[in-house]
Amino acid sequence: MTISNKQIISTSNTLLKIMCALVCLVFGSFFSYAQNQPKITADIDTTAIRIGEQIKYTIFVDADSTAQVLFPEDQTFSPLEMVEALEIDTTKYKDRITLQRSYALTQFDSGAYTIPIQRIEINGKAFFTDSLRVNVGTVKVDTFAQKMYDIKPLMEVEKSSSFPWLLVSIIVASLLVVIGLIYWFILRKKPLTDEEKIALLPPYDRAIIELKKLENSKYIIQDEYKEYYSELTTIVRSYLEEDVKISALESTTDQLITKLELLKDAGQLKLDNDTISQFKRVLQTADLVKFAKKKPETSIAEQDRVAIAQIVEKTHEALPEPTEEELLKNEEYLEELARKKEKKKWIIAIATFVGALLIGLGVLIKVYGFKTVKDTALGHPVKELLENDWIQSSYGYPPIQIETPEVLIRQEVNLPPEAKANIKELQLFTYKSNKTLFAVSVSSATFANPQTEPDFNQVAEKILAEFEASGTKNITTKQEEFNTFSSDTKGLKIYGSGKFKMPNSKELVNGEYAIICFGGKGFQQQILVTYLADDEYAQQIADRIFNSIEVKEDKKE
């Protein structure tokens, strides 16, 4: 078969077109891929600062507008410290997005530092920035231009208290004042007034005194006859009602006279007819004065008062002597009245005091909360520990300095034979409450081999095993780095929760624990704290203990 030149040229052209298409496809895909690839850059506004000054570190991300971008968080810039992370600045252009985030960094020691590579996550994939070099210089101090002073001595400060004792003292003083006022105005036996003294007299004596007062009144001089006769008849009617035991105040003149005559006829009241007639005349005169506005002669008004005095006296004489039984009943009645009066005084006094007490408690609860007031009033073992005078002391060697609400007591430790081969010396100090779950212990150990490194995980496993052996259930555990507050010594914090046994009880309660471990070649140190979960006082104690830890990472040679 013979192939012509025309066919060869045609085939060549076809292959060329295919190759061109493939090349375009490959390069086009590569170009598109390159276009979609994110671009990460980092920059700083200066490469040299003085101690304490800040560097502005900025990360730029150019990516697809649909990309999910995660910037660095927290302290990832060590050895430099992050002061502030600014908000992300976003710029969009077509299907691309440019993100910019700045961080304020600083350092308080002089030297040359490297800002480490930072990890940026885009759509779940990690991208990294370049590291950057920064120089931190010291601040020049002119000791000749400024006078130097001695270090000031330590100053004593008053112990702060979480409970408002001043306010409580004010409320207690106020309650004492209320008690004093209650006694003075309610409970105290006050001197009787003249009116009260007269009211305590027998009806006859009281009537005679009131008639005497009426004699010395100015009713007649001022032509006030209505008032004069109204008081005159009230005196005699009240006397008859109390002494003769008849309803005289509500009766009309005729009804009252009829009641007296019936008593006379029954032999219960020995009055003659002239006395009753005279009494009737005085009552009728009084009715005319009060209702008909009649104005009698002054002499007649005087005679009527004298007549009423005689009627009261004759009626008193006409009454039979009370029997022993009547006298006893009258005495019991008076005693009952006295008891009721005294009881009423005490009810008022107690109600006033309780009201003042509730107002005071309401003020405390409003300001400080119900739980604080309740725990202070009824007592709370952990709150009492928190408010104790705390003790700062060093324990063991290498020493651990720590603040605790109670002194930690040295414990005798009997090491098993297999442990003695590895541990040269172990010192243990503990405090354990017998009322609640709170306990704290400090231990310090030196190894027989000075080159032995501590195994914190093994320590934690042993402590957790001891928890389980003592009956603790459902133990959880977590780990994180721990830095001391004062010296920034690094350690390991192992913490978690579980069901712990209460002291002197088989009851299981929700508790928490924390183990702080330190150590180096040839030694190890740890602090263990256990307490009830959701106990805010115990949490405050634990935080204060952890913040007070200061370790000396040296050992015996």
The domain that holds 316 is classified in CATH as 1.20.120.330
Residue 33 lies in a domain: no
Residue 438 has a pLDDT of 86
pLDDT for res 111: 85
128 and 230, same domain (yes or no): no
- Computed over its alpha carbons, how large is the radius of gyration of the chain? 51
- Among 187-196, 263-272, 297-306, 452-461, which is the least confidently predicted range? 187-196
Q: How many domains does the chain have?
A: 3
Note the pLDDT of residue 147: 59
218 and 302 part of one domain? yes
Q: What is the 3-state secondary structure (H, E, C) of 453-495?
A: CCCHHHHHHHHHHHHHHCCCECCCCEEEEEECCCCCCEEEEEE
Beta bridge partners of 473: 499
Q: Give the range among 158-167, 263-272, 346-355, 458-467 with minimum mean pLDDT.
A: 158-167
Examine residue 25 and state whether it is found in any structural domain, yes or no. Answer: no
The Cα–Cα gap between 157 and 544 comes to 18
pLDDT number for residue 12: 40
Residue 192 has pLDDT above 60, yes or no: yes
Q: Identify the domain containing residue 222 by its residue range.
A: 201-320
Q: Is residue 58's pLDDT more than 90? A: yes
> In the beta sheet, which residues pair with residue 391?
404
Average pLDDT score over residue span 521-546: 86
The residue from 320, 339, 366 where one domain ends is 320
Is pLDDT above 80 for 6? no
86: in domain = yes
Pairwise CA distance, residues 45 & 26, whole Å: 41
pLDDT at 525 over 60: yes
CATH number at residue 123: 2.60.40.10
Q: Do the Cβ atoms of 493 and 514 come closer than 8 Å?
A: yes
352-356, 398-402, 482-486, 547-551: segment of lowest average pLDDT: 482-486
> In this model, does residue 31 exceed pLDDT 60?
no
Q: Is residue 242 part of a domain?
A: yes
The burial class, CB within 10 Å (0-12 / 13-18 / 19+), for 524 is buried
Confidence of residue 57 (pLDDT cuts 50, 70, 90): very high
Is pLDDT at 431 greater than 70 in this prediction?
Answer: yes
Domain shared by 70 and 209, yes or no: no
Mean pLDDT of all residues in 31-49 = 76
pLDDT recorded at residue 456? 79
The answer to whether position 356 is within a domain reads no
- State the pLDDT at residue 142: 56
Are 286 and 393 part of one and the same domain? Answer: no
- Alpha carbons 467 and 461: distance in angstroms, whole number: 10
Any domain includes 493: yes
- HEC string of 359-383 equals HHHHHHHHHHCHHHHHHHHHCCHHH
Same domain for 419 and 540: yes
Single out the residue in 320, 347, 362 at which a domain terminates: 320
> Do 71 and 158 contact (CB within 8 A), yes or no?
no
Residue 175 and residue 353 in contact, taking contact as beta carbons nearer than 8 Å: yes
pLDDT of residue 149: 59
User: What's the rounded Cα separation, in Å, for the pair 417 and 419?
Assistant: 5
Give me the mean pLDDT over the 497-518 stretch.
86
Strand partners, 328: none
* Domain end point (choices 137, 155, 182): 137
pLDDT band at 20; cut points 50, 70, 90: very low
Same-domain check for residues 542 and 400: yes
Mean pLDDT confidence for 91-101: 87
Helical residues (DSSP H) of 389-455, grouped into ranges: 417-420
Residues 107 and 217 in one domain: no
Please tell me the predicted confidence (pLDDT) of residue 78.
81
Q: CA separation (Å) from 330 to 16, 80, 89, 336?
A: 141, 98, 98, 10
101 and 224: one domain? no
The CA distance from 57 to 14, in Å, is 57
129 burial via Cβ count (<10 Å: 0-12, 13-18, 19+): buried
Residue 230: what pLDDT?
92
Q: Are 312 and 398 part of one and the same domain?
A: no
Q: Indicate the SS3 state at residue 188.
A: coil
Give yes or no: residues 118 and 206 share one domain.
no
CA distance 459 to 241: 98
Is the model's pLDDT at 421 over the cut of 80? Answer: no
Tell me the CATH number at 516.
3.40.1000.10
In a domain, 282, yes or no: yes
- Any domain includes 12: no
pLDDT tens column, 453-505: 888 777 778 888 888 888 888 888 888 888 887 667 788 888 888 888 888 77
395 and 298 assigned to the same domain: no
Q: Token pair 């009943």 is at which residue?
A: 329
Residue of 217, 216, 195 whose CA lies nearest to 206: 195
Which pLDDT band, with edges at 50, 70 and 90, does 56 fall under?
very high
Which amino acid is it at 512?
E
Q: Are residues 108 and 227 in the same domain?
A: no
Spatial distance between the Cα atoms of 458 and 453, rounded to a whole number of angstroms: 12
Percent of the chain residues topping a pLDDT of 90: 7
